[in-house]
Amino acid sequence: MSTSTTQFKHVSYLWDDAKAAELAGDEVALLIYRSNLLGTDLRLTNYGGGNTSCKVMDKDPLTGKEVEVMWIKGSGGDIGTLKKSGLAALYVDRLRSLKNVYRGIEFEDEMVELFNHSIFDLNSKAPSIDTPLHGFLPFKHIDHLHPDAAIAIAAAKDGEKITKELFGGTIGWVHWQRPGFDLGLQLKECLDNNPGIRGIMLGSHGLFTWGDTAYESYINTLEVIEKCAEYLEENYKKKGAAFGGKKIDSLPEADRKKQAVALAPILRGFCSSKTQMIGHFTDDARVLEYINSNDLERLAPLGTSCPDHFLRTKISPLVLEIKAGDDLSDVDAIKAKLTPAFEAYRKMYEDYYNTCKHLNSPAIRDANPVVILYPGVGMFTFAKDKQTARVAAEFYINAINVMKGAEAISEYTSLPRQEAFDIEYWLLEEAKLSRMPKPKALSGRVALITGSAGGIGKAIAKKFVEEGAVVVLNDMNAERLQSAGEEFKQAYGKDAYTTATLDVTKAEEIQEAIATAILAFGGVDLIVNNAGLSISKTIADHTEKDWDLLYDVLVKGQFLVTQAAVAVMKKQAIGGDIINIVSKNALVSGPNNAGYGSAKAAQLHLSRLNAAELGPDHIRVNVINPDAVISDSNIWAGGWAEGRAKAYGITVAELPAYYAKRTLLNEIILPVDIANACFALTGGLLNKSTGNVINVDGGVAAGFVR
């Protein structure tokens, strides 16, 4: 069939002829271009899923002869962000000759090591398990994707029959089989038995399409997926309501968010019983249609079909029996209701493992659910980091789309439990997991640093992100906050942070910031009370307004933020850290400093009081006492520098040197020094320390804690 570019309704046609013309003659560059276009549309393939390749003639560096080389996405890559460094390049003849030593399907895993003997480009990424699936097909350009519309057909009970009728025999069919060398041979056999076909559907798994050029492969892929999607659309109209119709109504959006904020920290605590998790919440319309339906109870336990889906989402979700409108304020009662549900899920997963395991299977992994469905409200996902949690949600939405389509045209079928287990606990998958970098010290932790759009606060936020945490950037100044957010997105990516406008003197804004943290990450467990200001005046010049402002921001702000955060930490019941950025001035008497110094002393003693109270909950409270941190600090605006210079009888320009010279180490203190101290307290080596004060002031003897 031939579809004009204007006729696509279910996929995005993104090909730019001018851009492609610039790449003409470089088939590898065109492969990357095509891959990136396909990967930007989540309807075509999920993050990290699918594979693309091209075959070119190149000069063998050893013989000087022209040889055929296949460039293919390497192991663990994502086609949407693929670069040349993410490709593997292999000699096609060597790859195909491996069939001479292939000992059969029970020896699949040993073939992956042999792929390395076919490497052409020494800078290659490790070849993926899909390599032979592309290598045994003769086409110059090949796309293997996981489009929801195609998998809906592939996962339907009558999928093979529907595929044959829908495409008039121009799309082949290969029954479900775990990816590997034998599946590559089966694809070649399917093509040999059906010459002239334009693609192959893999049962329960995905789609293979191809072309002689990058563009032909691209347009063929879009056309096949478009036809699948059109077919589903026609059947949705015939069938009427999806998933057996609506069983319950969703709460209004504001109420859904409110329920999610109330429940997520509790769920996070349960899911973090083995490893501390980061959460993600979505009330996407597709999720709500599914979780509010009559068929949820039947479909949810079946699990997903596509291997890429359940590797990210686990074998099946946990469906909560809490009603959408229930009062969630009694935390103990909610935990009592959830405890048996989590225990049952963990037992189900353990039984699945014990029933399906082999003698050489890896040890059982975390038995907690990844996907948690709350009918009427939305979907929570929990994983080791934000990106993994977010992607798990995207994958489960893919699975919802697949179930919806399969049910509309036939009946949804999931993979048998044993097949699912053999994918999830595949030794090659375990080897891939073992090659992943070790978790950083703050992985799985959610940090809210007040006043983190600049100065000390931003330095702390950067340090925490670099050590694996996710952060809630906040500031009173919306423009400053936006700039910090853009900086973090550029440096660390969208999953490392979220933002919230926050005035620490306003309880409602604090609650909103905490809610932002919960909706973005599932909770909060690392608070740094850093927001502050300085006023330096003689007692005669100090006004009541000055006094109230200092105590409102420094003391009341610390109290209110701590109070709100502790409520969440207690819900999670996984401990936490509170660090209060106080000051040398909490301990040292000096001129023109009555309001600021006494407020800092109040902050310090409030920290001690909180440490004494919160210890039984494993919430540690510690203090950092900086001094004279001038760089990028709001404290030095608004006359403070002038006031301190006047008090010491020097000029503002002389302040940094003056402060350094009065220290034992003769050092200027920078924001990064405070950030490093915060990490020292939270990075794992001081987990049994609370109620402490660390001075980061270069050594001011008068500030020693006695």
Q: Which residues are catalytic?
A: 596
CA distance 620 to 626: 19
The candidate with the shortest Cα–Cα distance to 132, out of 83, 92, 78, 81, is 92
* HSE-CB for 507 with a 13 A CA cutoff: 5
- Map residue 473 onto helix, strand or coil: strand
Assess contact for 307 and 179: CB atoms under 8 A.
yes
Contact in structure between 596 and 535 (CB atoms under 8 Å): yes
Burial of 244 (0-12, 13-18, 19+ CB in 10 A): middle
Task: Identify the three-state secondary structure at position 637.
Answer: coil
255 by Cβ neighbours in 10 Å (0-12 / 13-18 / 19+) ranks as: middle
Chain centroid to Cα 691, Å, comes to 34
CA distance linking residue 662 with residue 657, whole number of Å: 9
CA 396 to CA 382: how far, in whole Å?
A: 12
By the 8 A CB rule, do 8 and 48 touch?
A: no
Closest CA to 206 of 219, 188, 192, 187: 187
Find tokens 């001479």 and name the residue.
100
C-alpha distances (whole Å) from 46 to each of 311, 518, 546 are: 12, 25, 56
- The per-residue DSSP string of 126-165 comes to PBPTTHHHHHTS--SEEEEE--HHHHHHHTBTTHHHHHHH
